[in-house]
Amino acid sequence: MADETNAAVEAPPQEATVDADATAVEQEPRRPVDPDFEPEIIVFACHYCAYAAADLAGSLRLQYPATIRIIKLPCTGKLEVIHLLHAIESGADGVYAAGCMEGECHFLKGNLWARKRVALVKGLLAEVGADPERIEMYNMSSADGPEFARVANEFTERIRLLGPNPLRRHGVSPHSLVRDAVKHIAIADEAADSAAPPDDTPPPVATSEKGPAE
Ligand code: FES
């Protein structure tokens, strides 16, 4: 009798089994992956770095998904929390800011502010039960076209595994909604030339709706 009691008391805890299960669940897609799902992704790209890198990726004929929609900003520091939330609320499946390398922002700390705002929005999304992985911050140099393409492909794959944004509405273009909402901070096509850095680099010729190389 005493042996049976001791055996019950000394039974191994169940945590190890539970943790292993939880890890297994985390590693699996949370929803069935739809092979036809093409995520619509909005990129807030700094004119000085990520936008130039996108241009370079196009020149190098590097491939990235056509559903990457770029909105050009003079600096990612212009991006506010409300803009990021609006992009998700508009139905974008994924959103990321792409700014200059840390320490190289033309406005000193714009990219650092952007990183903090992205982190804040991630926290807000997690609090309301949405996917914080739908939003991200990246840094890259203007000369790194391959990095722009790599990030675009990697982030698209991440979103593909997450599935469509539940807030997406049929017949509504998230990119159009967001572009209108941020037109007061974005660089319009006609302003691109005058906002270009004063060097010998030809001004970007692509528009804010530019897609990847065909
Ligand atoms: Fe590029 Fe600020 S100028 S992120």
Is the per-residue pLDDT at 150 higher than 60?
A: yes
Render pLDDT for 46-93 as a digit per residue (tens, 0 to 9).
999 999 999 999 999 999 999 999 999 999 999 999 999 999 999 999
Q: What is the pLDDT of residue 54?
A: 96
Q: Domains in the chain, please, with CATH?
A: 41-196 (3.40.50)
Q: What is the pLDDT of residue 188?
A: 85
For residue 110, the ligand 1 atom closest to its alpha carbon is: 2
- The pair of structure tokens assigned to 125 is 């999304």
Is the per-residue pLDDT at 129 higher than 70?
A: yes
Counting residues of the chain whose pLDDT is more than 90, the rounded percentage is 68
Residue of higher predicted confidence among 30 and 25 = 30
Render pLDDT for 16-27 as a digit per residue (tens, 0 to 9).
444 444 444 444
Which residue from 170, 171, 175, 210 is spatially nearest to 189, judged by alpha carbons? 210
Ligand 1 centre distance from Cα of residue 62 (Å): 23
Ligand 1 centre distance from Cα of residue 118 (Å): 15
Query: Residues with Cβ within 6 A of ligand 1?
Result: 46, 48-49, 75-77, 99-100, 105-107, 110-111
Residue of higher predicted confidence among 193 and 108 = 108
Phi and psi for 79 in degrees, rounded to 5? -75, 125
Mean pLDDT, range 89-111, rounded to an integer? 97
Under the banding of pLDDT at 50, 70 and 90, the label for residue 34 is confident
Ligand 1 centre distance from Cα of residue 172 (Å): 30
